[in-house]
Amino acid sequence: MAPSPDDNDGTFPIQSARMYEAVRGNGGTVRLVFLPFEAHGYRGKETIEHVLWEKFTWFDKYVKGSVASATNNNN
């Protein structure tokens, strides 16, 4: 899926793709999500809901999961 045109003159979707490849290439954990019909800001209700889902999923996996793992390892 091709990203929508960005309304920010200084930011291009290719920069996100390059950052994704750089992090992945250096062994990092990364996820790149392009949201259809959205430019630099989020306006659609479905988009905002999806962004919140992405954030909560990341938090649950990498923050809450890390805290639970650390607690279990200390016992």
With 60 as the cut, is the pLDDT of residue 11 above it? yes
Q: In angstroms, what CA-CA distances link 73 with 42, 66, 67, 70? A: 40, 10, 10, 5
Looking at the predicted structure, is the pLDDT value of residue 16 above 80?
yes
pLDDT tens readout for residues 17-66: 999 999 999 999 999 998 888 877 788 999 999 999 999 999 999 899 87
pLDDT of residue 42: 83
- Flag whether pLDDT at 71 surpasses 80: no
